[in-house]
Amino acid sequence: MLLFSFVLYVFVTSFTPGPNNIISMSNASRFGLKATFRFIFGVTVGFFLLMLLCSYFNLVLYQLIPKIKLALSILGSLYMLYLAYKTAMPSGKKSANYDQSSTFMTGLILQFINPKGILYGITVVSAFIIPFYQSGWVLTLFSLLLALVGFMSTLSWALFGALFQKFLSRHERIFNLCMGLLLVYCAFSVYL
């Protein structure tokens, strides 16, 4: 397994802004951490279920169509390069002010309509996990690990939202460029 690339991709993708992190930060500032924790727990459970679905979806594809590995690796790499571009060269538009309730079900359901999470699950599993591990037990453990990282990410954004906002506003261009370059490295490391 490409451990360094896997960890780097998981970290960059999980901790950069996305619906889960932004809503978590917004909810914590409006409703407090205690109320937001229900949302974070819903995100975590939903994300775990999503990772399981992505894992087994990729496994079925690999078993039914053995030559799909190259196609999934190429698609995963292209998506990582797209993320790198979008991260390094943001549009300049500020995130919308999300008006979401801070509930478990909101966090859970969000995972199944969150394109970033779905594409992340398919990409991380097809590029970094399925080529090396295909046991149901191992896929479940990786799904749990990815959900734990997602939990740490949304919790961090809730706890340190104000700090992240200040840091990103002062160093946004450098931060985005660094994150984008790390994603480019991840995209090419799939082929090494």
In the chain, what percentage of residues exceed pLDDT 90? 32
Dump pLDDT digits (tens) for 21-70: 877 877 777 677 888 899 999 999 999 999 999 999 988 887 777 676 67
Q: So where are the chain's domains?
A: 3-91+99-189
With CA atoms as reference, report the closest residue to 121 among 59, 191, 39. 59
Scanning the structure block, which residue is given the tokens 């970290």? 11
Scanning the structure block, which residue is given the tokens 């974070």? 40
Residue 72 CA to residue 64 CA, distance in Å, equals 13
Residue 135 CA to residue 118 CA, distance in Å, equals 21
Residue 110 CA to residue 100 CA, distance in Å, equals 10
If you write DSSP's letter for every residue of 137-149 in order, what string do you get?
Answer: HHHHHHHHHHHHH
Dump pLDDT digits (tens) for 71-110: 767 776 787 677 678 767 766 554 444 444 468 988 898 8
- The most confident of the ranges 12-26, 86-100, 138-152, 170-184 is 138-152
The two tokens of residue 182 are 């790390």
| Confidence band for 182, pLDDT divided at 50, 70 and 90 | confident
The two tokens of residue 104 are 């478990």
With CA atoms as reference, report the closest residue to 120 among 95, 153, 88. 153
125 contacts 9 by C-beta, under 8 angstroms? no
Query: Residue 97: what pLDDT?
Result: 41
With CA atoms as reference, report the closest residue to 37 among 91, 113, 45. 45
